[in-house]
Amino acid sequence: MSIAENIKQLKETLPQGTSLVAVSKFHPSTAIAEAYAAGQRVFAESRPQELLKKVQELPESDYPGLEWHFIGHLQTNKLKMVLPYVSLVQSVDSIRLLDEIQSWAAKNYRIVDVLLELHVAMEDSKQGFYEEEIVELLFRAQTYKNIRFRGLMAMASNTDDSSIVEADFERADSLMAYLVDLFPELEDFNQLSTGMSHDWPLAVKHGSTMVRIGTAIFGERE
């Protein structure tokens, strides 16, 4: 199927309240333009240089309403290549990164929206905070004057065992509900970004409000 047909099918399948983020990393700007023409507006990149190139190739003047998210591991020395252009950093995985984002945002008179990356997967190689670290961090949320905490992001274990994947998503959903209850003052803390091309139905079953889908829209990476 075409990119437009894939997007149409996904949007018809996703429940109300779950938004579609098209993961465009490793795909050309022409593919993004095709998805945009089909009505998709939110795209995600994971490499600063690639994001910057596509921002320049797809200017706001030609693509009004096009929105970028950053979903990769963000090095602190690359902030200026990312933060001016994205509406959401989905992959804040350390206090150091959070502190550097706060510093950049304060200097540039900006409010930066972020998701905190929760480590739920079996693999130690995956980035992110553990549950207790996120709770401790959000007790100090008011100290980050230029950051708006929007919710959580998580990646499930890389396994064919759907019960493990489902358990990972359930952990993220349970923590999300706990945090919303514990921190009512964080009024914008309402996004749970879980699920990708191969596992998004399980993520939606467990509370995902935002799915990150690349291959099922654009096909295999170039």
How far, rounded to the nearest angstrom, does the alpha carbon of residue 213 sit from its chain's CA centroid? 10
Residues ≥6 apart with Cβ < 8 Å to 174: none
pLDDT classification of 222: cutoffs 50, 70, 90: low
Report how many domains make up the chain. Answer: 1
* Predicted pLDDT of residue 1: 87
What is the value of pTM for the model shown? 0.95
User: 160-200: per-residue pLDDT in tens?
Assistant: 999 999 999 999 999 999 999 999 999 999 999 999 999 99
Nearest residue to 103 (alpha-carbon basis) of 85, 136, 80: 80
User: According to the model, what pLDDT value does residue 116 have?
Assistant: 98
CATH number for the domain spanning 54: value is 3.20.20.10
Q: Which residues have a Cβ under 8 Å from the Cβ of 154 and sit 6 or more positions away?
A: 117, 118, 119, 120, 121, 128, 168, 169, 171, 172, 192, 193, 194
The 10s digit of each residue's pLDDT in 51-87 is 999 999 999 999 999 999 999 999 999 999 999 999 9
Domain that holds residue 125: 3-218
Angle made by CA atoms 211, 221, 191, in degrees to the nearest 5? 15
- What pLDDT digit, counting tens, does each position of 105-124 carry? 999 999 999 999 999 877 67
Instruction: List Cα–Cα distances, 165 to 157, 170, 193, 198, in angstroms.
Output: 6, 9, 14, 11
The pLDDT value recorded for residue 125 is 63
